[in-house]
Amino acid sequence: MGLERELEALRRRVRRVAKVENPPQLSVHVFNEGEKNPTGDSPWELSIMIEKKRPLIDQANSLDASRFSRSSTSK
């Protein structure tokens, strides 16, 4: 009889501790810049946008930098 009581107490404890809900489904969406964001309305979704490669020096700065190149400096 004592063993049955212990087993029933353990069952009650497991029911109390066991997770009642299913965990949310996490998802990650990776897309390139210019594409449509595929994210839905779920707060458990993460979207990562891969940006296009940008030039290291823009056009205006490259014109200013040409003043300091070796060919423009004299002896």
Residue listed under structure tokens 């891969």: 50
Which tens digits make up the pLDDT trace of 20-75? Answer: 667 788 999 999 999 998 888 888 999 999 999 888 877 656 655 566 666 545 54
Angle at 15 between CA 11 and CA 19, to 5 degrees: 145
Break the chain into its structural domains and give their ranges: 24-51
Q: Whole-structure pTM over 0.75, yes or no?
A: no
Angle at 38 between CA 36 and CA 39, to 5 degrees: 130
